[in-house]
Structure 1
Amino acid sequence: MNQITVYTTSTCPYCDMMKNFLKEQGLSFNEVNVQLDQAAANRLVKTTGQLGMPQTEINGQWVLGFDPEKVMSLVK
């Protein structure tokens, strides 16, 4: 079972592309909207050092931005 979390904002088109891609692949994921959760936003910046969205954690590995090839290389 893959552990996938997508960190998003409300106004990010690439976030929607990432979520749609995961759905098309039949991959379930949790979404954390960092615009609505400041604590999660702070943790994310501490963890990855990145502000851009989306950021997707897959089984402990990070994908920055919309990168379907990297996503598929990390899922089981």
Structure 2
Amino acid sequence: MNEKVTVYTTTLCPVCKMVKEFLQLNEINYREVNVDLNPLAMVKLLAKTGKFTVPQTNINGQWIAGFDPVNMLKAMQSK
């Protein structure tokens, strides 16, 4: 799969872990941005999504908040 997937996480977020495990189980390559380690990324994320929550997943330009496997798979199919 050639999807461009970025997951914005924090270190202690259990839902972030669920998203990453889901992507790994489905053999989907992703890039993780831990906003605990990169506060500027959180500022940019807030500007893009209007939300101060994680996880936020960007799949092919579509933002998905939280753990939403149905919409994650739909986003990967709609290019």
Place the TM-score, normalised by the shorter chain, in its bin.
Answer: over 0.9
In structure 1, list runs of 5 or more residues that go unmatched.
none
Q: Provide the C-alpha distance between the structure 2 equivalents of 1:52 and 1:65, rounded to a whole number of angstroms.
A: 8
Q: 2:65 — aligned with what?
A: 64
Q: Provide the C-alpha distance between the structure 2 equivalents of 1:3 and 1:72, rounded to a whole number of angstroms.
A: 13
Q: Is the counterpart of residue 43 in structure 1 residue 38 in structure 2? A: no
Query: What displacement does 1:25 show?
Result: 0.5
Query: What displacement does 1:39 show?
Result: 1.0
Query: What displacement does 1:38 show?
Result: 1.0
Name the amino acid aligned to 2:7.
V
CA-based RMSD of the aligned residues comes to 0.6
Query: What displacement does 1:58 show?
Result: 0.2
Q: 1:25 — aligned with what?
A: 26
Name the amino acid aligned to 1:72.
L
In structure 2, list runs of 5 or more residues that go unmatched.
none
Query: What displacement does 1:19 show?
Result: 0.1
Q: Give TM-score scaled by structure 1 length.
A: 0.97
**Percent of aligned pairs with the same residue?**
43
